[in-house]
Amino acid sequence: MPAMKDAPIITTGTIIERRDERTFYVRLKNGKRILGHTQLKLAHIRDELKDGYTVTLEMTPFDFEKGRIVEYSVS
């Protein structure tokens, strides 16, 4: 698998709604709502994620509509 040319953008947001098993609607600090999804290796945390939790996301500079959830904290 080739490496990414550009480093991912790291940001935080708040889960506002569960969409399905792997995806959540997340509100970023700037007010934008995006689709956040969990990594396969973090499948064990999917059931723990709830509305209002703060999550750290990795986003590609090419798509600001979705991000990968890499960690979370209860706020």
pLDDT digit string (tens) for 30-71? 999 999 999 888 888 888 899 999 999 999 988 999 999 999
With a CB cutoff of 8 Å and minimum separation 6, the contacts of 55 are 12, 13, 14, 15, 24, 26, 36, 49, 69, 71, 72, 73
- Structural domain boundaries in the chain: 9-73
Of the candidate ranges 2-6, 13-17, 34-38, 62-66, the one whose mean pLDDT is the lowest: 2-6
pTM score, whole prediction = 0.85
Degrees (nearest 5) of the Cα angle 30, 26, 32? Answer: 30
Contact indicator for 34, 5 with CB cutoff of 8 Å? no
Burial class (CB in 10 A: 0-12, 13-18, 19+), 69: buried
CATH superfamily, domain at 9-73: Nucleic acid-binding proteins (2.40.50.140)
